Chain A
């Protein structure tokens, strides 16, 4: 299907996010930006809770939302493994059951120019974890 990337789960995640918005209090903030297109995303860690603030295309917003959903409650070590699996998913298009709804972004592999839109939130999350870690925050598990 030619518009596989824009399946309902992606559109739904970008339109009606449950993890969007800057929280009033948080332990750490991570950021990532694509200077080529102006897309920006921030990720906030607050204990076990994850929030994002994405400014950009639908793929970025959906990826940020699906990432927060999947990574909530996980340790930094588990998130690192998940991040590697996601990277593999979006570069090869090969779905794996443990990625759950993140598999909705598998077809990004057919859109190389949009890969960065999907991976940007993960960069921000890694950035947030690193900052929390250096501050001795709770996400350093």
Chain B
């Protein structure tokens, strides 16, 4: 499988009145064609900021370090996303090579513009279709994601659709331009569990059909286990563990990932008390020195956790973890 996008040493800070706040630090990963990568973490872990960086969508006060590289591999060659300066040039990435769907389908449609008009606008920006062609393609896409009566729905507004229907329409819009990569930022969090499953199935089918990559952002490890091929776990802006999804979930190596999995309620052991990770994620203004997880970690090995950043070590052929428990060879 060929690479779609490569992120290298992505460090992103926000310039604020309190000074520079680090939101993402030294994150590297790649997504390949036909692959679903889960990006997991609590609120404030930097997962959404990372995803937005791929489309250069972060606020104007975002500062990228010179070492940060986001390379999009297209048929026409490699494109350095962060080198794009003008919004008009970013069109290639935004809605062209990459589409994004958001957590709140209601809020991500403009309320006073019909769904069809928003879809047609996007299609006309990214292709040389006429208005009429764009409209019939939009109807076709709505039909494809399982929206009944697409001829009628295309002229409706977001507030006239149900929650699940809206997210389907969002998916239809995101895929209509045939992007290489789909970023789904908690696409099912706002939906009912039953609808959630339908939407996940739909996304799964469409990825295969369109042969693209997906970055699936969520805090729900259950959804990750069902949906993703690979998973990357983020904590306070750092990528602390990554690997094939089954391996990471069956055999988590980082104390944080272990904590996340232990914190999940288990249907077969209902009497067992939940074991949450103690404490809260620190404010980005007070990033701990050393390992970012040292304020909550139950497996501190010594001063090294307080003073040194853990190296990213390989514990299995494709399973990497950043924790002082493991030595260079990946042994505990």
| A complexed with B | no
